[in-house]
Structure 1
Amino acid sequence: MEAHGAGIRRVLLLVFCIAGICSAYIYQGFVQETLSTKRFGPDGQRFDHLAFLNLAQNGVCLVWSYIMIKIWSSEESSGGAPWWSYWSAGISNTIGPAMGIEALKYISYPAQVLAKSSKMIPVMLMGTLFYGIRYTIPEYLCSVLVAGGVSTFAILKTSSKTISKLAHPNAPLGYGLCLLNLAFDGFTNATQDSLNARYPKTGAWGIMLGMNLWGTMYNMIYMFVLPYGSGSKAIGFCIQHPEAAWDILLYCCCGAVGQNFIFLTINQFGSLAVTTITTTRKFGSIVVSSIMSGNPLSSKQWGCVFMVFSGLSYQIFLKWQKLLRSQNKSKTT
């Protein structure tokens, strides 16, 4: 009876995590797209300082994680990763998302989401070329579905209504920025995995604090110290257009809540569960963008979307099978 109750509580916790991740990031995507396409004020000015979103979100998440550590200090045991160990992951986690956000100036939000969903392709390509890794036929099938869907979506004609919302329509540049975003994300993930292995006692709030501490410092230097930084202009724009400042605050709060649920899910259910949830969330973001933001997709483009997410879903299914086999094997030995 006690085991049954524990199982129910675990299922409810998973549902809670799914709802938290999906609602936070789907709404954040909507706000992000609004900021990148909306015209503010009677003169119709655009908010062109999208990189400022990273600084704002880092700052909010830094404060959030610090408060959570102070409230739940008993969860943070000694032996966690020291704050300075996140410096390299902080660099990649600063540059990568900034490129992904900047891509919204050149391609639509659905195109950006699809491009960023193809992370498995460069991972498999690098594994094959540099490490001699051989993948199974089903894994290659997944990559073909994803690559085919993204590339076909890229060459299909985008509606004039969607193009008119972009600041500087330029598909090659937009997709190139997304590709660089994926490369930096891969380094971030690998570094975080390495830190988790070296410091297994690191708690979720500690990871969140370390990453956002370095992200805040790097973005402050980029936005306010370097000569081409636009931090002052971004703040000036927000003072002139308070509506933009409100959108940025909503964007940051969604990011903080989303990170909270992601780290909670990793701790309780593992990274594969997070991958499954976030993949579903990305599909939901495209649907919301198409309906609420007025980015109509043609039937052929919807076919590409389903093609990409079919490949991603099949890849996740293969990973779950592999995980279950390894768990069963460990139980029998």
Structure 2
Amino acid sequence: MARIKNLPIRREPSWSAAEDEKTNGAGVAVSETEKKMEKKPEVKKKKEAGLITLIIDVAGIYASFLTWAYLQEKVTTTVYHNNNNNNNMSSSAVPSTEKFKFSVFLLTIQSLFAGLGGLLFTYLSTPKGSRIPPIIPNKSILLPLLLVAFTNALAAPFGYAALGHIDYITYILAKSCKLLPVMFLHITLFRKKYPLYKYLVVAAVTCGVAIFTLHSGSKKKAYSSHSGQTAWGMLLLGINLLFDGLTNSTQDFIFATYQPYSGPQMMAANNLMSFMLTGSYLLVSPWLVNTAVGEWFGMGPAAMGGHAGGELKAALEFLNRHPEVWRDVIGFAAFGMVGQVFIFHTLSTFSSVLLVTVTVTRKMFTMILSVVAFGHRLSQMQWLGVGLVFGAIGVEAQIQRREKLAKEAAKKAAAEGKAQ
């Protein structure tokens, strides 16, 4: 009888039996790798922030920056009266009335508050168990950060100097036009081209600012020097906007080049660097005020209210004569710091489109608050100028919103196509 050879028994690997039990509705086995691939988009999907978070962020931006703007106008435009009998300085050295003109001192206090707030924000925004990122992660980022701090430190004194020649509403209106210097720098330095609507927005904004400035209802118009003062103020403000544009362009470059560099890190690094720059200036100002360089930059004794000891000493003596100003200065710095935190949180939680909308409407409310709180009066032509500026900025924000949503929809469709 012939011997029948038994076929070897085929043993299934241990993972095969486990996979046979995991089938889809059609009875087809699904591997663990395939199941992970199917669940991957759900794991990576970012949970959207709720309505309460949105309300808190928007309310925080409005409340902090409206208060910040109110204190800024109050500190820089209020006329303070002196009682020379109670002053330690001779009555001839102290004017009967004076204004707070110490812009670098004000910027130094604000930079210190915002820098410390940025450090705390960086710490609190770091996930538990993760290493706290350094605000200067490498040497290559140091130069761009220094450039931002330098331009930011230079921009503020020009802006505050402009307030000595133009009213606060003109200042706020022109500061709403940051698109102009940003476009100018990108076109001249980076040879970037923009769509037609951007140029139309710039034209409308420029016309709006020009109409508002030329139809000023101020009583200063009666003086022949008013037009020259306004022109000088607008020139100073133009330099301020140019530095603002360079600051914003460099910040965009940093975020694009040094990812994943975050907003809290930027807030801390820039403000602490600005504090060191402006603080250094305050320390050396006593040796500069009586030099030709000091006179040329407007740092001489005449600019410091007849004080030859530099801006730091002059500011402290002013605050000693008017101690109630300390409350406004500290409040100005504190609300500015809180506002920056809300801005960076909104940018990281929601989108830049929402932030642009909130910023534009916030500046409109700032102008309204200035009119109500400080008794400014606007002519019909000035309201036309305001409408042109904010109308153009609003149209630009709406177009940007549509472009942003279209890009996000395209990315989502592409991701869904790859998943299938």
Q: Note if 1:124 corresponds to 2:183.
A: yes
Which position in structure 1 is the counterpart of 2:216?
157
How does 1:188-203 map onto structure 2 within 5 Å?
A: 188-203=247-262
Q: Deviations over 1:272-302 (max 9, x none)?
A: 3222211111111111111111111112111
Letter of the 2:311 partner, please give it: S
Q: Note if 1:97 corresponds to 2:156.
A: yes
Letter of the 1:62 partner, please give it: G
Which position in structure 1 is the counterpart of 2:329?
248
Q: Note if 1:282 corresponds to 2:363.
A: yes
Partner Cα distance (2:179, 2:262) in 1: 27
Q: Note if 1:66 corresponds to 2:119.
A: yes
Query: Which stretch shows the higher mean deviation, 102-111 or 188-197?
Result: 188-197
Which position in structure 2 is the counterpart of 1:3?
none
Partner Cα distance (1:304, 1:327) in 2: 35
Q: Note if 1:110 corresponds to 2:169.
A: yes
Q: Which of the pair has more CA radius of gyration?
A: 2
C-alpha distance 97-275 of structure 1, shift in aligned 2 (>3 A): farther
Q: Deviations over 1:109-160 (max 9, x none)?
A: 1100111112222333444556554433332322221111001111113322
Q: Deviations over 1:33-55 (max 9, x none)?
A: 11122122343221121332111
Which position in structure 1 is the counterpart of 2:230?
171
Partner Cα distance (2:195, 2:343) in 1: 29
- Give TM-score scaled by structure 1 length: 0.88
Contact 1:108 1:163 in 2 (8 A): no
Contact 2:66 2:366 in 1 (8 A): yes
The equivalent position to 1:18 in structure 2, one of 31, 55, 58, is 58
Q: Note if 1:56 corresponds to 2:109.
A: yes
Partner Cα distance (1:185, 1:122) in 2: 8
The equivalent position to 1:34 in structure 2, one of 49, 74, 77, is 74
Q: Give structure 1 regions of 4+ aligned residues with deviation exceeding 6 angstroms.
A: 161-164
Letter of the 1:321 partner, please give it: R
Q: Deviations over 1:228-249 (max 9, x none)?
A: 3411111111111111111101
Question: Displacement, 1:88?
Answer: 1.5
Number of corresponding residues: 324
The Cα RMSD (Å) is 2.6
Letter of the 1:310 partner, please give it: G
Which position in structure 2 is the counterpart of 1:82?
136
Q: Note if 1:311 corresponds to 2:370.
A: no
Contact 1:128 1:134 in 2 (8 A): yes
Q: Note if 1:207 corresponds to 2:263.
A: no
Question: Displacement, 1:74?
Answer: 4.0
Contact 1:28 1:254 in 2 (8 A): yes
Query: Which stretch shows the higher mean deviation, 67-76 or 234-243?
Result: 67-76
Letter of the 1:48 partner, please give it: K
Partner Cα distance (1:302, 1:313) in 2: 16
Q: Note if 1:44 corresponds to 2:97.
A: yes
Partner Cα distance (1:88, 1:52) in 2: 20
Q: Going by fraction, where is helix more abundant, 1 or 2?
A: 1
Question: Displacement, 1:80?
Answer: 5.3
C-alpha distance 122-201 of structure 1, shift in aligned 2 (>3 A): closer
How does 1:132-147 map onto structure 2 within 5 Å?
A: 133-147=192-206
Letter of the 2:397 partner, please give it: I
Question: Displacement, 1:71?
Answer: 5.2
C-alpha distance 130-63 of structure 1, shift in aligned 2 (>3 A): closer
Partner Cα distance (2:110, 2:382) in 1: 32
Question: Displacement, 1:27?
Answer: 1.3
Q: Which runs of 5+ in 2 are unaligned?
A: 1-46, 83-95, 290-309, 415-420
- Give TM-score scaled by structure 2 length: 0.71
Partner Cα distance (1:13, 1:307) in 2: 32
Letter of the 1:294 partner, please give it: G
Partner Cα distance (1:26, 1:186) in 2: 22
Letter of the 2:136 partner, please give it: P
Q: Which runs of 5+ in 1 are unaligned?
A: 1-5
Contact 1:81 1:199 in 2 (8 A): no
Partner Cα distance (1:246, 1:128) in 2: 43
Letter of the 1:11 partner, please give it: L
C-alpha distance 266-80 of structure 1, shift in aligned 2 (>3 A): farther
Letter of the 1:55 partner, please give it: T
Partner Cα distance (1:260, 1:207) in 2: 11
Q: Note if 1:322 corresponds to 2:403.
A: yes
